[in-house]
Amino acid sequence: MLIPQKRDTVHRAWLLRLLSAIADDRVLMEHLRFKGGTCAALRDLLDRFSVDLDFDLLDEKKIDMVREHLEQIFKDLGLTIKDQSKTVPQYFLRYENSIGSRNTIALDITVPPPKANTYEIVRLQAIDRFVPCQTVPTMVANKLVTPIDRFRKFKTVAGRDLYDIHHFLLQGLPWNEAVILERTGETAAVFLRSLHAFIERRVTQTVIDQDINTLLPLPEFQRVRKILKAETLRLLEEAAALQ
């Protein structure tokens, strides 16, 4: 995982410490599936810094059990719960950091996940453990849907979503069309055009600058910031035309 600044080494260490503890819990690994930006970064599918941990929970009846195991891990590691959701396992965890301002890990669990999601066991070299993760096509499909879904739920736009989509499309990674259909009710061809229109209308240069400037080294941020939107729109046009 890329580390943009020296202070980010502490956050990365805590992310990996927490992820390792979760991976060592057999009960959690039976029911949780790793996903999101940190998962992609640790699988060398994404070249930016990622600050959170995201999982799917396969069975919503296991929410209480998952909470119990997670909160024991937090206690054992000395992490403080700053805030949490009352309905799903979602936490904001504080750790001590003497060399920088970043001191919070968000841990978010989706329950229930899309039925079309598929998973595979992956060895994550950074923590030397085998972890059940979303497959690459599932990860890409969910990321494609995220910008519009985020805006629909929270009325916010995240520049990192655009960056990730751009990076995935440049690599020619496949997507799970069944996930897109389940989450949006649209075929991939139709949805890609919807996403193109959304990005063209909603993603501004300010959004890009404010969100990804802390996730990339300065030279890389300066290189990509001005081309990111235009290239992503072109890649989406090409992808839609091939459907």
Q: What rounded mean pLDDT belongs to the chain?
A: 95
Residue 185 pLDDT: 97
Please tell me the distance from the alpha carbon of residue 47 to that of residue 1, in angstroms, as a whole number: 7
Give the C-alpha distances (Å, rounded to integers) separating 235 from 24, 156, 176, 212, 229.
39, 23, 17, 20, 10
Please tell me the distance from the alpha carbon of residue 133 to that of residue 140, in angstroms, as a whole number: 13
Task: Locate 198 and state its tokens.
Answer: 């959304």
- Model confidence at 6, pLDDT cuts 50, 70, 90, reads confident
Task: Locate 58 and state its tokens.
Answer: 């396969």
The secondary structure of residue 157, as a DSSP letter, is: -
Residue 226 pLDDT: 94
pLDDT, one tens digit per residue, over 105-130 is 999 999 999 999 999 999 999 999 99
Residue 99 pLDDT: 72
- Model confidence at 199, pLDDT cuts 50, 70, 90, reads very high
Residue 168 pLDDT: 98
Over pLDDT 90: what percentage of the chain?
Answer: 90
pLDDT, one tens digit per residue, over 63-102 is 999 999 999 999 999 999 999 999 999 999 999 887 767 8
- Model confidence at 239, pLDDT cuts 50, 70, 90, reads very high
Whether the pLDDT of residue 9 is over 80: the answer is yes
Region 28-53: mean pLDDT is: 96
Give the C-alpha distances (Å, rounded to integers) separating 211 from 48, 156, 235.
12, 11, 21
* Between residues 173 and 4, the one the model is more confident about: 173
Region 183-203: mean pLDDT is: 97
Whether the pLDDT of residue 154 is over 60: the answer is yes
- The domain limits of the chain are 1-134, 135-243
Whether the pLDDT of residue 4 is over 80: the answer is no
Residue 1 pLDDT: 60
- Model confidence at 2, pLDDT cuts 50, 70, 90, reads low
Q: What angle do CA 29, 32, 34 make, to 5 degrees?
A: 100
Pick the CATH number of 1-134 from 3.10.450.620, 3.40.50.720, 3.90.180.10, 1.10.1740.10: 3.10.450.620
Whether the pLDDT of residue 11 is over 60: the answer is yes
Whether the pLDDT of residue 45 is over 90: the answer is yes
Q: Which residue has the tokens 């404010």?
A: 210
Whether the pLDDT of residue 37 is over 60: the answer is yes
